[in-house]
Structure 1
Amino acid sequence: MSLERGTAPDPYDILPPKPTFTLSSNDIADGQPMDPRFAHQSVGGENVSPQLAWSGFPAETQGFVVTCYDPDAPTGSGFWHWILVGLSAGTVELPSGAGAAGMLPPGAFHVRNDYGTQEYGGAAPPAGDVVHRYVFTVHALDVADLGLNDSVSPAYVGFNLAFHTLARGILRPTFQVK
């Protein structure tokens, strides 16, 4: 089977299904283009993480992980933009800019993104490429601590999420550099 560029599978379409809960934002909207301020500096953006808020997650939730992944990156493996681990069960919102180094709630930490930094890394698709989807996900966990540290890879976080995610809240805004 051959896919057209820009039709990479959504990562959650190929993983075991999980219940969903509400993820909302004052800054981004599902299926809509992101404002350039949420893009990486390399494409003229401000590299600001969007505001996110979530509700309706399972009562037994003990913690959260926030991720942002671009399945349309021309890499063969997508591109991890944000991996935020260790959010307490009482955290139900992140303000704009919370993805910057040093701006996290107590106990939370970033795992290195595919830019090689431990922070939010904004959208930066190649100029003239297809519209890219940015899959912002809040994972509700059945444990308070995944037993990870900030030296693990995004894939290793994802592996652990596969066994501890109770439910997910997802927004899929887009971005393109013409």
Structure 2
Amino acid sequence: MAFTVTSPAFINGSVMPQAQVYSGMGQTGGNLSPPLKWEGAPAGTKSFVVTLYDPDAPTGSGWWHWVVVNIPAEVTSLPEGAGSGKAGLPSSALQVRTDFGAPGYGGAAPPPGRVHRYVFTVTALDVPHLEVTADSSPALVGFMVNHHRLASAQLTVLYGSGTKTP
């Protein structure tokens, strides 16, 4: 079985719903992290990391919208709002600082112009937890994730000028 991630809120390649769009920076969304479900993790998985990244942000390095580490291997889903304080994360899970400057989910908030890709990634790791804090940078988490990655699954949605949201 392949390692996959899905969401009942949207399908791969669709437009991000307003519920998941940022509330601020010119956007008027609900800023709710979407429900996510994954399956087919490889043998030896000891934890998961969930990220949301915009590779099209005009920063030269993209934009990290959400980073959750230390999700136990037996967890295979997150409810809507888990990253927004509206639903629970597993007790061992830790949200780290995003490019908005604080831990937690921050939805799509592209500047006017082109449509951006928002990539949700669930990564299976060979360690039960990463030694990071809530103030750790996404770059540090990425370094550790790349060192302990067993497999990754991605789901990409679009948002920006010209998109019509459901």
- Give the match's secondary structure for 1:69: strand
Residue 21 of structure 2 aligns to which amino acid in structure 1? A
Residue 21 of structure 1 corresponds to 3
Structure 2 CA distance for aligned equivalents of residues 73 and 149 of structure 1: 25
Q: CA deviation at 1:145?
A: 1.2
Q: CA deviation at 1:150?
A: 1.5
> Which residue among 71, 76, 85 is the counterpart of 2:60?
76
Runs of 4+ in structure 1 over 3 Å off: none
Structure 1 CA distance for aligned equivalents of residues 15 and 79 of structure 2: 19
Question: TM-score if structure 1 supplies the norm length?
Answer: 0.85
The answer on whether the counterparts of 1:80 and 1:114 sit within 8 Å (CA) in structure 2 is yes
Gaps of 5+ in 2: none
Residue 108 of structure 1 aligns to which amino acid in structure 2? A
Give the aligned CA root-mean-square deviation in angstroms.
1.2
More strand by share: 2
The answer on whether the counterparts of 1:24 and 1:171 sit within 8 Å (CA) in structure 2 is yes
1:91 and 2:75 aligned: yes
> Which residue among 133, 139, 157 is the counterpart of 2:117?
133
Gaps of 5+ in 1: 1-19
Residue 146 of structure 2 corresponds to 162
Structure 2 CA distance for aligned equivalents of residues 52 and 145 of structure 1: 20
Percent of aligned pairs with the same amino acid: 48
Structure 2 CA distance for aligned equivalents of residues 104 and 53 of structure 1: 13
Task: Count residues with an aligned counterpart.
Answer: 158
- Give the match's secondary structure for 1:48: coil
